[in-house]
Amino acid sequence: MAIINSVLGPLDTANLGFTLPHEHLIDSSAGINATYDELLNRQWALETAVADLTQAHSEGVDTIVEVSPLDLGREVSLMKEVSEQSGVQFICCTGCWLDIPRSFWGRSPEFIAALWAREIEEGIEGTGIKAGIIKVATSDPITEHEELMLRAAARTHLRTGVPITTHTPPQSRVGERQVSILKEEGVEPHHIYVGHINVTPDKDYHRELARLGVWLGWDINNPFGRPHLPPWQQMIDYLKELLDEGLGRNLMLSHDWNVVITRIASPGFPSREENPDGYLWLTRAVLPRLKEAGVSQKTIDQLMVDNPRRYFEGERPLT
């Protein structure tokens, strides 16, 4: 076991339970929420999130890892309120997504790591709410500023022990390059969770990442597929093939869902009408279909409970 940071304070990893390791509450931009309530009605977001997550909790969702950093409009106080009222545990993040603030450009990795380590050790925006994971994102190829964020994430991890998760773009094997930069900085592979591998359905890529010993994030993104992806039922068949090869040792499943997205025309983000199941899509549709395809409850528990716990405990994937 290990004690990690949740938005309500220290959390024993033994109590993580059924965990969705890549979700959002609000998907926005730095400064937007406080400035333009035309784009985000905080009261509506709070009430909707509490209703959605109370329902999710009653259907077995114990923990959400909320991977919105500053530049995705992170709202840690809202996460705390939602956690208190819904009963779902939240782990929030430090780090940076693709909208890297210019104030970070040209800084040293150490300078940025000190800022991020403070969010893990002391708290975020004076709330005392501490980050439990480091988020970082890159394009393909990785830009100069994105590489700086990766190196800063590595140094934050080395200072604090908190693990790293990455965003990867579709149809790209950039996860391998991300891992190699993080390894250059001294991060061991089992502290890295490469996100969105499902948007690059390439078995050689997925096998290679598993061979490297990192965790693999299958963040279903959307039940209707992105334009370049086959229908979700076929994606489940593909996932089943990976599980049959033993990649379930490395895999974690999540949605990449949010209650509010202030961006428009973002592929892979269905409306609430298109996906009324939201944070319960895995529970209601995907896991039953995996079971129908012959995946055991033991494997489902490995994906949804054991692997997130092992990752947060700093354990390696089983071999």
Q: Which residues bind Zn ion (CB under 5 A)?
A: 256
9-12 and 3-6 beta bridge pairing: antiparallel
Three-class DSSP labels, 261-304: ECCCCCCCCCCCCCCCCHHHHHHHHHHHHHHHCCCCHHHHHHHH
* Residue partners of 45: CB distance under 8 A and separation at least 6: 25, 26, 78, 259, 260
Least separation in angstroms between residue 9's CB and Zn ion is 25
CB closer to Zn ion, 52 vs 256: 256
CA–CA distance, 135 with 103 (Å, rounded to integer): 18
CB closer to Zn ion, 75 vs 256: 256
Least separation in angstroms between residue 213's CB and Zn ion is 23
CA–CA distance, 189 with 172 (Å, rounded to integer): 19
Contact of 19 with 310, CB cutoff 8 Å: no
CA–CA distance, 233 with 239 (Å, rounded to integer): 10
CA–CA distance, 136 with 133 (Å, rounded to integer): 10
Q: Where are the alpha helices (DSSP H) in 59-142?
A: 76-86, 109-121
CB closer to Zn ion, 146 vs 256: 256
CB closer to Zn ion, 170 vs 213: 170
Least separation in angstroms between residue 167's CB and Zn ion is 6
CA 1 to chain centroid, in Å, comes to: 21
DSSP state of 229: S
Contact of 130 with 8, CB cutoff 8 Å: no
Least separation in angstroms between residue 256's CB and Zn ion is 4
CA–CA distance, 31 with 11 (Å, rounded to integer): 29
Least separation in angstroms between residue 75's CB and Zn ion is 15
CB closer to Zn ion, 71 vs 256: 256
**Nearest residue to Zn ion, scored by beta-carbon proximity:** 256
Least separation in angstroms between residue 296's CB and Zn ion is 28
CB closer to Zn ion, 26 vs 210: 26
Least separation in angstroms between residue 175's CB and Zn ion is 15
CB closer to Zn ion, 256 vs 277: 256
